[in-house]
Structure 1
Amino acid sequence: MRPSTALFALAASSSTVLARPGAWQYTTDLEIIVSLSNADKGLGSRTGFLQGQRQEQPPDNSKGPFKTVNILVGKNVKNKDIRCKLIAPGGQTIKARRGEKNIDQTFGDGLKGEWAFLEDSEVESIICDPTFKKGDGSGNGGNDGGNAGGAANTVVRVVLSDQATETGVAFELDATKRDELTIKPSTIFSAIEIQAPDDVKDKLRCQIEDHAGKFIVAKRGKNVDTTFSDAKKGAWMFKDPERTKVAKITCDPAFVANPIGA
């Protein structure tokens, strides 16, 4: 049973529960609430999770796109350090920021408020798990004070977006070698932006395929190509086809420009 659905629906419709706020408060105090929001679009979702076990649920009310997530740990929950993660429709884990340098893909309460998505995104699934740790997959240890490690950045971010639906989803791949990522069938996109480390901004290129295995052609300025670079010049707009689902992303230092006639 999905406890959040039953409890929130009951709170909204039952005079018995509204007349007994103490009972409702007690239930909330034993839960972890994951609150998603997008104030610009008036979207919001509150999903409740029980303590002491791994649980995965879709967001209540709406899948977004959202801008922020807030983890609210009830005062009677024993594990105050419980963390949750968000999964986008393509199957990738959503990353968010709290503070100037604290970027992570698992989110805790810590009485520090909301986390802001790095890119607006729909949320397909929410997972709360007592085994999740601060800094899981973040690259900076999830420390609020920032990353003092000084390690070179070896990650390239590939951002797929669609202006018509105002959707943007970021994927991360290895920038030092050939790396491939298969995407589950999901959202239709119309643009790709490569955000590469400074030392390979002009060299590293990526390509994308649709579900038929066809390379997607995109255009940036006068350049039309099937491999795409950062070069500090922004997004490439899909040309053939102009909007489509993406099945696979490949980034490879061996890729070179492959211009085709506009």
Structure 2
Amino acid sequence: MQYSTFLLSALSAVGALAIPTGSRSNDTSVRITLAGASELATQTAFQKVQFGQREVQAPVGSSGPFQTVELSLGKGVQMQNLRCQILDEEDKPIVLLRDLNVDITFADADKGAWKFRQESVVSAIICDPTFAAIGADANDIVVMLSGPDELATQTPFLLGGAKREVQPPVASSGPYDTIELKVGALIENQDLRCQLLDARGNSIVAKRNQNIDTTFSDAGKGAWTFLDPVESEVFAIVCDPAFKAAPAA
């Protein structure tokens, strides 16, 4: 009886050792591990994203604050290049660093955890098959003006949105009738607003959807059209972190 018990125990041990080798290739788990100070850590599992669906969850157990995040993909997950994103308490993407990579989405690639640029509370985790690593324009701020007769110009701003900056439009003063601001994904001030001035130093009123304003933002919502006047030469573009939405009367 003792021999049988020993033999069964030994066989069970061999089986236990053998299982992981086969199970790793069938492992379809998608796990996000968040860690912070004082050994605070939480792990959140994702299921739907394995089938090509965007999936959003709050961190399990705690919202932090955290300092690192790691994506772990089982070997059975078909999308080994899957990327996820974490949002702060204002629902803005958290900037992350790993080795020389700086991004607002993160991957597994068997390279371990990503560090937060600064400790932060996490309100949501998003895993989406359409996410891609950021492009070369992630640190750029560009104001694009376009007008009649296919006139168009792009004016770069070089101070990263941290200070007031005034530039004339590159190449031509116009006339123009639309304006668009592009704020790169890694620019810290994603709420940056700019303003257009005419020859008299008056601000040009622009409209986007239901918003009518003397300053304009990016917000991923595309171009603004001139409203007052509907077409104008532009003599200066001002981008200032102190600007707020200023609806025209």
Q: TM-score if structure 1 supplies the norm length?
A: 0.47
Greater gyration radius: 2
Q: TM-score if structure 2 supplies the norm length?
A: 0.50
